[in-house]
Amino acid sequence: MFHAPRTVVTCSNVLIFNDGSKVTLVIKPLRKAVLPVAGLGTRFLPATKAMPKEMLTVVDKPLIQYAIDEARAAGIEEFCLITGRGKDSLIDYFDVAFELETTLRERNKQDALDALAPSTIEAGALIAVRQQEPLGLGHAIWCARSFIGDDPFAILLPDDLVKSDVGCLKQLVEAYNQTGGNVVAVTEVPREHTSRYGILKTGKDDGRVVEVTGLVEKPKPEEAPSNLSIIGRYVLTADVMPHLSKLERGAGGEVQLTDAMAKMIGHVPFHGLRYEGQRFDCGNKLGYLEAQIAMSIDRPDLGDSVRAFLKNYTG
């Protein structure tokens, strides 16, 4: 007679299947992503007066599209946008544009239709949750609690554009599957800049994957435990949610995701990944301009012309 395996849940992302004769551990696959997009974008005023900063384009794609494309390439199937007032155009962007698509078909503009295709998300796969108060990244993730449930999830901050052969999030997913727990993308920053970032305390380090033994939010350079900084890519288990649900205020009077993650360390696996790729901080003007140049130079239709322009312009 067939007996269905008995399932026991240990930590939130690991299932134990016990059929009486053997025990099998299975790591839950990563299928959900949260994208916090509620920020005001004040650094880009007046451009962001009437449009979300996530709709600013790098060449011909908005920042939010780069993040969604990266998530899809990593196997993400469900998306949650944490929005604020004035962000409705982000939802409209991922809707089907019937009139536009009909016009393009009638005019036989297949290239334009192909360009539009990635901006449509399957019905039911995208939800938006309003963050009613700007209380920090941790609060934004807490707002997605019903979407997350007991599942592992990714966080992508669209301000961080990562140019790489293998998507940054896909690299994190591979590390998640290997380590069985939380993984954050990390990069080395100048010691004098540690006060701008969440910084890791580290344990075992193989040069690519590093054990995280602690996290410090924006430490002074002389107090920083390392110069490894977290960028806007995370793979977290639902174990973080009880800590976020306390809504404890940290640095800047905000609910800090870093503080909640720090409380998990020592109880569940937690690692940093030195990802392969180049990160552009499109939350500031210089990083945004650097991304424009780097992404356009790599385009077959633009690269030669951009290089020639830069050569002539800079002498």
Instruction: Judge residue 62's burial from the number of C-beta atoms within 10 Å of its C-beta, 0-12 exposed, 13-18 middle, 19 or more buried.
Output: buried
Report residue 225 as tokens. Answer: 């435990």
Residue 303 lies in a domain: no
Number of domains in the chain: 1
Residue 1 lies in a domain: no
Q: Taking phi first (over 0 means left), then psi (-120 to 50 degrees means alpha), and beta for anything else, what does residue 247 get? A: left
Query: How far is Cα 58 from Cα 292, in angstroms, rounded to an integer?
Result: 5
Residue 138 lies in a domain: yes
Render each residue's pLDDT in the chain as its tens digit; 315 residues. Answer: 333 344 344 566 665 555 566 656 678 899 999 999 998 889 999 999 989 999 999 999 999 999 999 999 999 999 999 999 889 999 999 999 999 999 999 999 999 999 999 998 988 899 999 999 889 999 999 999 999 999 999 999 999 999 999 999 999 999 999 998 999 999 999 999 898 888 999 999 998 999 999 988 788 999 899 999 999 999 999 999 999 999 888 878 888 999 999 999 988 999 999 999 999 999 999 999 999 999 999 999 999 999 999 999 887
Residue 253 lies in a domain: yes
Those residues with Cβ within 8 angstroms of residue 46's Cβ, 6 or more apart along the chain or in another chain: none
Residue 81 lies in a domain: yes
Residue 174 lies in a domain: yes
Where residue 256 sits, what CATH number does that domain have? 3.90.550.10
Residue 299 lies in a domain: no
Alpha carbon separation from 235 to 150, 171, 178, 278, 307 (Å, rounded)? 14, 10, 13, 19, 37
Give the structural domain span for 106.
6-283
Residue 70 lies in a domain: yes
pLDDT at residue 251 in the model: 77
pTM for this predicted structure? 0.90
pLDDT at residue 1 in the model: 37
Task: Give the 3-state DSSP-derived string for 42-94, with helices as H, strands as E and coil as C.
Answer: HHHCCHHHCCCHHHCEECCEEHHHHHHHHHHHCCCCEEEEEECCCCHHHHHHC
